[in-house]
Structure 1
Amino acid sequence: MTRSDCVGMAEEIRTFDETLVKWTRMTGNMNNRYRRISVAPGKGVAGIVKKTGKPWIVEDVGKEIPLSEKHRYPIIINEKIVSFIAIPILKKGRPEGALIIGYRTPGRISKSLTMDYIEDIQPVCKCELGGVHL
């Protein structure tokens, strides 16, 4: 469908004394480091998408995310993602997590294709995705 290099899902994990956003599932991953990534709510790719409730499309990480800011997005570094679509996963209309569709080669995604991808993915994942108006 998307011919992506990797797809992952992040969720907000609440414990007794803190709340973190963690990547809980990943396919096409290069290693298992994604399991150790945890950021504060509102931080990282998943946190930003969950906070805004809107898809985030990056056609070229090297051009759109300054090198000095790249460390704020560990999933991009660990999975060597160079372009991606990150989409909020909604529950009862509220952002509860994020889905990332990542590519390791440039030029594989464009903003014009994003809505098509999201519309195709929503019935497959059997969830409500933010930014979709069907």
Structure 2
Amino acid sequence: MHDEVSSTVQEIISGLCQITAGDFCGIAYVSGSMLRWKYTYGATNQRVQRMAMRPGQDLVGTALRTGRTVKLDEQSRGEYTPDRCPLMLAERLVCAIAVPLFKQGSLPDGVLLVGSRTPRTFSPEMVMQTEQTARQLEQYA
């Protein structure tokens, strides 16, 4: 059962990466006070699977804290920078969309992130597709 869920989630995130023309897609869950990347697609190294990070002031932490989608792209430069997020540094991502995942209740317990290694602008359709995929993935949490 677990392998079936895992392969389904991997298929979903690889599909999302292709639809959005992203280079990386990952799902991280809160475990205690740390955030750990459970599923990834397009990772360039194995460090991401071992990475445990405290949700901070970066893109991922803001999506978790606010319960809202946050994006960093060519049009939304400013408050967020790639060098504030350990995952974005490790994977050399310069643009990303982070969508909170809700298992139950009103507090998010995970994040879906789609990122790009080249500068770009995410269209509203790409953001909406990422949010729809996040809602679909919540059932596998």
TM-score per shorter chain, which class? 0.7 to 0.9
> Is the alpha carbon distance of 1:23 and 1:2 closer, same or farther for their aligned partners in structure 2, counting shifts above 3 Å?
same
Q: Which SS does the other structure have where 1:24 is aligned? A: strand
Measure, in 1, the Cα distance between the counterparts of 2:137 and 2:52.
23
Q: How many positions carry a matched residue from both structures?
A: 121
Structure with more helix by fraction: 2
1:67-98 alpha-carbon deviations (Å, 9 max, x no partner) = xx654311111111111110000022320100
Q: Could you give the per-residue CA deviations for residues 19-62 of structure 1, whole angstroms, max 9, x where no partner exists?
A: 21122221100111112332224454333211110011111399
- Alpha-carbon distance in 2 for matches of 1:60, 1:80: 16
Alignment of 1:88-107 (within 5 A): 88-92=100-104, 93-107=106-120
List aligned pairs for 1:93-132, cutoff 5 A. 93-111=106-124, 113-119=126-132, 121-122=133-134, 124-125=136-137, 127=139
CA RMSD of the aligned region, Å?
A: 2.8
Which region of structure 1 is more displaced relative to structure 2, 78-87 or 54-63? Answer: 54-63
TM-score (structure 1 length as normaliser): 0.72
Amino acid at match of 2:41: T
Between 110-119 and 94-103, report the one with greater CA deviation. Answer: 110-119
Q: Percent identity?
A: 26
Q: Which runs of 5+ in 1 are unaligned?
A: 129-134
8 Å contact kept, 2:74–2:121:
no
Q: State how 1:1-134 maps to structure 2 within 5 Å.
A: 1-14=19-32, 19-60=33-74, 63-64=77-78, 70-92=82-104, 93-111=106-124, 113-119=126-132, 121-122=133-134, 124-125=136-137, 127=139
Q: 2 CA distance for matches of 1:30 and 1:84?
A: 16
Q: Which segment drifts farther, 37-46 or 69-78?
A: 37-46
TM-score, normalised via structure 2 length? 0.69
The structure richer in strand per residue is 1
CA contact (8 A) 1:12 1:20 kept: yes
